[in-house]
Amino acid sequence: MIGSLRGSVAARPSESEVLVEVGGVGYRLHVSTPTVAALGPLGSEAFFYVHTHVREDAIVLYGFLHDDERRCFEVLLGAHGVGPALALAILSPLSPASLTTALLEEDVDALCAVPGVGRKTAARLLIDLRNRLELPDLSVPARPGAGAQGGRARAEVRAALADLGYAPEEIRGALDRLGADDSEECVEDLLRGALRELASR
């Protein structure tokens, strides 16, 4: 089983594939969109952490620039109804840290940003992935004082702002800009702060 590859980027057959030449052998890797964007020009050296996916009819390699992405990908594969294509699609708009934050804050809209994922599927994934991704080595670096209480408060504020007609991008931006210690704040305080942020834009 291949665990990593170091070689030169020989080609980019598509937006989700790269061909890496190692010792005269070309390895075709399926990668996320951010991975393709982060690579250097053709001929440059690159190192990939690799997940080897064995099917009855093929052996498919998935490449990641960071080991936490590979581990997150493998955890996603354990979720009900998530295959390699969907797991890679999830990791295109969402980094492991962003995905963990979305789970902690019950941010359905973040998962709905993944092509092909509707609200019903996103809600199911939130439930299924919540325990799977709450691992020490995959957890997002916490904001000071942030925790389950703060996550629940932000989830309630997110829902309230959505009911008021604000778009998911506006809500996410306002909550990110708050940058407050929300572990001791109530929903009302967070909501007032978010509304101030939205009004100032």
On the question of pLDDT at 29 being above 90, the answer is yes
Question: Is the pLDDT score of 139 beyond 60?
Answer: no
Lowest mean pLDDT among 22-36, 161-175, 176-190: 176-190
Q: Which segments within 15-124 are labelled E, that is strand?
A: 17-22, 25-30, 45-54, 59-64
Of 135, 141, 128, the C-alpha closest to 98 is 141
Determine what percent of the chain is predicted with pLDDT higher than 70: 85
All structural domains of the chain with their residue ranges: 4-65, 67-141, 142-201
141 confidence band (pLDDT: 50, 70, 90): very low
**Looking at residue 122, what DSSP letter applies?**
H
Please tell me the distance from the alpha carbon of residue 164 to that of residue 173, in angstroms, as a whole number: 16
Tokens linked to 9: 């980027």
Closest CA to 158 of 179, 144, 174, 143: 174
Q: Quick check: 106 and 155 in contact, CB under 8 A?
A: yes
| Token pair in block for residue 26 | 């070309």
pLDDT in tens, 37-65: 899 899 999 999 999 999 888 899 999 99
pLDDT of residue 69: 92
CB 8 within 8 A of CB 21: yes
Above 70 in pLDDT, residue 133?
Answer: no
What is 142-201's CATH topology? Helicase, Ruva Protein; domain 3 (1.10.8)
> For residue 179, what pLDDT is reported?
65
Whether the predicted model's global pTM rises above the 0.85 cut: no
Residues 93-108 have pLDDT tens digits of: 888 888 887 887 788 8
Pick the CATH number of 4-65 from 2.40.50.140, 1.25.40.10, 3.90.1150.10, 3.40.50.1360: 2.40.50.140
CB 111 within 8 A of CB 117: yes
What's the CA gap between 164 and 162, in Å, rounded? Answer: 5
pLDDT band at 17; cut points 50, 70, 90: very high
Dist CA 34 CA 65 (whole Å): 10
Tell me: pLDDT of 80 over 80: yes
For the domain 67-141, what is the CATH superfamily, name and number?
Answer: 5' to 3' exonuclease, C-terminal subdomain (1.10.150.20)
Distance CA 201, CA 190 (A): 17
Other Cβ atoms less than 10 A from the Cβ of 186: the count is 12
